Every structure is written in C-alpha cells, then in structure tokens.
Amino acid sequence: MLNNYEEFDYVIVGAGIAGCSTAYFLSKYSKSVLLVDKNKEIAFGASGAAGAFLSPLLGKPNVFKDLITKSLKFSTSFYKEINSISFQNNGVCRIPKNEEDREKFKSYIPYMDFEYKALDDGYFFDIGSWINPSEVCNLLVENIKKKLNYSIDTIIKEDDVWFLNNEIKTKNLILCTGANTKLIEEKYFDIRAVWGQKIDVLSSTCVGFNYHKACSISKAVKTDKENLFKLSIGATHHRFNCNKDICNYCVEVANLNNDCSKCYTENIVNQDCQELIKLANNIVKLNDVKVVDVKIGARASSPDYFPMLGKLIDSKKSFEKFPHLKNGTHIKEKMLDKIENLYILNGVGGRGFVLSPYLANELVEHIINAKEIDESISTYRLFKRWAKKQKNN
C-alpha cells in the first residue's frame, strides 16, 4: 500500500440523490466525509434523468405503500427545510389512464393517506411537488468534499480499513451506486436497470400545477422569453435484456448523458421525446413545444421493488458457519456474518427523490446511533430468499 493516500472516516460512492442525501446527513456527525462519482457533475446519472416528482402512492394498505407515505412526508418537509429554490409544492392532479384505472382509483378512496379533492377528471393532492434534481443534489453537498470524474476500480479491505484504487483510505465505505453494481460481488444483491428519459420543454402553455397520468408534467416556470414557459416531462421506462456478466457498458460508463449508450440509442431518444410529448398532450394541450434538454439514465430496481439498506451479508462466511442455511430453515439475521464497515443504499427505483432522504437518514442513524433497520428494506431479506434457493448449488 502507498503511504500518501487521502484518509477519511466516510467515503460515499455515488453522487445521485441517494449518495448526496447520505453525505448531507453524515456531515451533521462528521467533517471527514468524501463523496466520489465517476461522472463530471453531481446528479449526472439516473438522478439527473429523474422526473423528480413527489407524489402519493395510491392503493390499499400494504407495507410498500406505508413506506412511500412515510418517505413522502419526510422528504417534503426535508426539501422545504434545506431551502431548495427549485422545490415547488403546488400540488399534483392524478388522472386515471383508463376506465379500469378509474375503478381502481374509486376503490382506493377509503385508503387515501393525504387530503385530496376531485379535479379535471382526477384527484388533486396538495402535497404533490416537483424539484430540480441537479439543484437539490448540489445544494445537499455544497459543503462536502467531492472527487468527481473519478471511477472506483478496486476496493480492498485490510484490518477493517478500506482502500480504494490504492489512493483513498476510509474507515467506512457507503455504496450508493444504483444500477452499477460492479463493486458488489454478492450474488443475492440483484439490481435491475430500468432505463428512462426525461425532457425539459419550452411551451406557450402555462400549466398551473403538476399532473400525472401515463407520464408526469411539472408546473410551468416563467422564462425570460416572452410568453414561454419551461416544463419537465418524464419519464419513460425501458428494460434491455443484456447479460451484465458479458457487457455492462451502459451502466458503468461515465458521463453517459454526453452521448447515447450502446442500448439506449439516438433513435430511442428521439422516439421517447415524441412519446413523452404525446402523453403530455393527453393530459394538457401544450402549444409551441420545443425540447430544450434531454436526460437519460438507468434507475435501480430490486426484484421486489423495495429499497435495500444497511450492511451486506457475507454469504460465503455465513454458509461456512451455518451450512444448514442452504436448506432455507432457521435463517435469522443475527446469526449471519456481515461485511463490517460497508453499507448500501440502493434500489430506490423511480421514486428516488421521495425515498432517498428518508432512507439516508435511517442509514446514518443506523451507522452513528445503531438504530435498527426495518427488515422490509434491509439487505437481509434478499439474502434470506436467495439462500433458500442454494440447496442444490
């Protein structure tokens, strides 16, 4: 090992909303925090391509809906507290996509978690909001030490200390890398990349609040051009059947928004622009539309759509200690070996700006104050399901 590495108490890899939120809450406890990202700018990956709409999840009571409701309340207050200049709490009108969807909406009425009223063939929620991803993420880490345009290729642990690229030394490593999981070798840590595109447009139509139907439209912002307003429309969804053991270029390459990926081609970008404008016009008629910005990125989704938080289970050591784990019986978290001083915040999917502040706070409280992480969002739940399938392997 070299002797001239930079040393930190905490290194966070990934400067999207998950990593930036984690850095923000950690900075309340430590001044020795480094945020690293392969891209040249903050929020230049999936977070930059997010629609960044904050909206309630409609449905009957379940654990995931409860998580979204709790996170939405937390995040809405959080964005107000940090004085984000882009935060717009102007409400959202949720419109059913079809008659089947309309009947579902009606069945959800007894279970609404937020106040609403009927409006424009849909339901209007005051809590609905929108933020600018880049502005918010940069605001969160304005006082955090950063190393951008820097790719982590190797992580080695010696004597409970992590060495990154043989250049950076840290006591604690936190991975908020989204769909790019090349630094995580545990096979149960299954992340699916859902590609999406967001566009910013100029229009002579002034939209008074956020809408959501088959896509989302933000409230119009007045520009310095006479009778022209700026709106965000997003986001599309694409899955590519790539074998990431052979090629994972699309999620690993840096500064992807400077160019199209091998899968997300220029043709798809153009088609998605037209599709988003079409879907938006099915909500509100937009006149004189001109696309002024396009962002693409791969959102990170887990198999069960719940996020993943906390330490990783060391599957090899756990199986060596307890071979019967492969039978799927008597798997309890406290008996498993974990990778110490390595933490994960991942799998926030398409609700990253709703979930990440809440999850980041939970993770930091777990690291600093030993607050227990709920099993529904822990890495343990994925290990438990995966272990049961390993009997014949």
pTM of full prediction above 0.85: yes
Alpha helices, DSSP H, located in the chain? 17-26, 63-81, 99-108, 133-140, 249-252, 266-281, 315-321, 352-369, 380-387
The answer to whether 201 and 277 have CB atoms below 8 angstroms apart is: yes
Place of tokens 């950690």: 26
Mean pLDDT, the chain, rounded, equals 90
- CA nearest 187: which of 251, 245, 250? 245
CA dihedral sign, ordered 127, 96, 101, 192: negative
pLDDT digits (tens, 9 = 90+) for 251-306: 666 555 555 556 677 888 899 999 999 999 999 999 999 999 999 888 999 989 99
Tokens of 212: 């959501």
- Give all domains of the chain, ordered by start, each with its CATH number: 1-52+132-191+302-393 (3.50.50.60), 192-301 (no CATH)
* Residue 324 pLDDT: 80
pLDDT digits (tens, 9 = 90+) for 100-121: 999 999 999 999 999 999 997 8
132-135 long-range contacts (CB < 8 A, ≥24 apart) are: 132/52, 132/84, 132/86, 133/17, 133/43, 133/47, 133/48, 133/50, 133/52, 133/353, 134/41, 134/42, 134/43, 134/48, 135/84, 135/85, 135/86
Tokens of 227: 């009778």
Give the pLDDT of the chain (393 residues) as one tens digit per residue: 446 889 999 999 999 999 999 999 999 999 999 999 999 999 998 898 888 999 999 999 999 999 999 999 999 999 999 999 999 999 999 999 999 999 999 999 999 999 999 997 899 999 999 999 999 999 999 999 999 999 999 999 998 899 999 999 999 999 999 988 889 989 899 888 888 899 999 999 999 999 999 999 999 999 998 889 999 999 888 877 665 554 454 666 655 555 555 667 788 889 999 999 999 999 999 999 999 999 988 899 998 999 999 999 999 999 888 888 777 666 788 888 999 999 999 999 999 999 999 999 999 999 999 999 999 999 999 898 888 888 766
The answer to whether 122 and 93 have CB atoms below 8 angstroms apart is: yes
What's the CA gap between 244 and 251, in Å, rounded?
9
* Residue 328 pLDDT: 64
Tokens of 221: 């912002």
* Residue 251 pLDDT: 63
